[in-house]
A and B are shown apart, each in its own frame.
Chain A
Amino acid sequence: MALRRLNVCVSFSWKMKYSTHSDPLGTKLKERQAQMMKKGLPVKKPIEGVKNVILVASGKGGVGKSTVAVNLALALSRHLPTQDVGLLDADIFGPSIPTMMNLSGNPSLTEKNLIKPLVNYNIKCMSMGFLVDNNAPVVWRGLMVMSAIEKLLRQVDWSPLDYLIIDMPPGTGDTQLSIAQNIPVAGAVVVTTPQEIALIDARKGALMFEKVGIPVLGLVNNMASYSCPNCGHHSHIFGATGAEKLGKEIGVDVLVDIPLDTSIMEAADGGYPIVISSASNNPLVQAYISLAEKVLSRLSAIKNEPSR
Chain B
Amino acid sequence: MASENAQILPNVKRIFLVLSGKGGVGKSTVSTQLALTLQNCGFKVGLLDIDLCGPSIPRMLGLENSSVHQCAQGWVPVYTTPDQTLGVMSVGFLLANKDDPVVWRGPKKTAMIKQFLTDVYWQDLDYLIIDTPPGTSDEHISVMENLKSVRCDGAILVTTPQAVAVGDVRRELTFCRKTGLNVTGILENMCGYVCPHCSECTNIFSYGGGESLAEMGKVPFLGRIPIDPKLTKAMECGENFITSFNESVATQTFISIVKNFIIQQEENIDGSENQ
Q: Can you add 15 more A-B contacts, CB < 8 Å, to A174-B106, A204-B102, A228-B198? A: A61-B23, A61-B24, A63-B24, A94-B21, A96-B164, A139-B140, A143-B106, A173-B103, A173-B106, A177-B103, A195-B236, A204-B100, A207-B100, A269-B162, A269-B163
- By a beta-carbon cutoff of 8 Å, the part of chain A in contact with chain B is 59-63, 66, 92-94, 96, 99-100, 134-143, 145, 169-174, 176-177, 195-198, 200-201, 203-205, 207-208, 211, 226, 228-231, 233, 235, 237-239, 260, 262, 265-266, 268-269
Whole-angstrom CA separation of A25 from B193 in the bound complex: 71
**Chain B, 98-126, CB within 8 A of any chain A CB:** 98-107, 109-110
Residue in B closest to A171 when the chains form the complex, CB atoms? B53
B10 within 8 A of A: no
**Interface pair A211/B103, CB less than 8 Å apart:** yes
Query: What are some 28 contacts across the A-B interface (CB < 8 A)?
Result: A59-B54, A61-B133, A62-B22, A62-B165, A93-B134, A93-B135, A94-B21, A94-B168, A135-B170, A135-B171, A136-B171, A137-B174, A138-B136, A139-B140, A139-B175, A145-B106, A173-B105, A173-B106, A173-B109, A204-B54, A207-B99, A228-B195, A228-B202, A237-B193, A237-B229, A238-B232, A262-B202, A262-B204
Across the interface, which residues of B come within 8 angstroms of A231, CB to CB?
A: 195, 197-198, 200
Check A172 against B193 for contact (C-beta < 8 Å).
no
| B204→A66 contact, CB < 8 A | no
B211 within 8 A of A: no
A184 CB, nearest partner CB in chain B, Å: 19
Task: Decide yes or no whether B5 CB sits under 8 A from chain A.
Answer: no
- Nearest A residue to B233 via CB reads A239
Contacts of A269 in B (CB 8 A): 162-164, 206
B171 and A94: CB pair below 8 A? yes
Q: How far is the CA of A293 from the CA of B142 in the complex (A)?
A: 44
Q: Are A61 and B21 in contact (CB under 8 A)?
A: no
**Is the Cβ of A228 less than 8 Å from the Cβ of B236?**
no
Minimum CB distance partner of B142 in chain A: A141
Q: Could you tell me the distance in whole angstroms from the C-beta of A48 to the nearest C-beta in chain B?
A: 26
Which of the residues B137, B196, B204 comes within 8 Å of A145, measured between beta carbons? Answer: B137
B253 beta carbon closer than 8 Å to chain A: no
B110 cross-chain contacts in A, Cβ below 8 A: 141
How many Å from the CB of B100 to the closest CB on chain A? 7
| Total A-B contacts with CB atoms under 8 angstroms apart | 197
Residues of chain A contacted by B232 (CB below 8 angstroms): 195, 237-239
Report how many residues on chain B are interfacial, defined by Cβ distance under 8 Å: 60
Instruction: Assess A204 versus B101: contact at CB under 8 Å? Given A239-B232, A239-B236.
Output: yes
Query: Which of A145, A170, A235 touches B229 (beta carbons < 8 Å)?
Result: A235
A138 to B52, CA, bound (A): 20
- Name the one of B102, B171, B203 contacting A262, with C-beta atoms under 8 angstroms: B203
Report the nearest B residue to A96, measured CB to CB.
Answer: B164
Q: Are B206 and A265 in contact (CB under 8 A)?
A: yes
Contact B54 A171 (CB under 8 A): yes
Report whether A208 and B103 are in contact in the complex, using a CB–CB cutoff of 8 Å: yes
Q: Does B30 contact A (CB under 8 A)?
A: no
Please, how many angstroms separate the alpha-carbon atoms of A135 and B171 in the complex?
A: 5
| Closest B residue, CB atoms, query A223 | B204
Residues 179-207 of B at the A interface (beta carbon under 8 Å): 193, 195-198, 200, 202-206
Q: Does B35 contact A (CB under 8 A)?
A: no
On chain B, the residues within 8 Å of A230 by CB distance are 195, 198, 200, 202
Q: How far is the CA of A68 from the CA of B106 in the complex (A)?
A: 28
A142 to B138, CA, bound (A): 7
Give the distance in Å from the alpha carbon of A303 to the alpha carbon of B45 in the complex: 54
Which A residues are CB-close (under 8 A) to B136? Answer: 93, 137-140
Residue numbers in A under 8 Å from B100 (CB-CB): 204, 207
Alpha-carbon separation in the docked complex, A198 to B236 (Å): 10
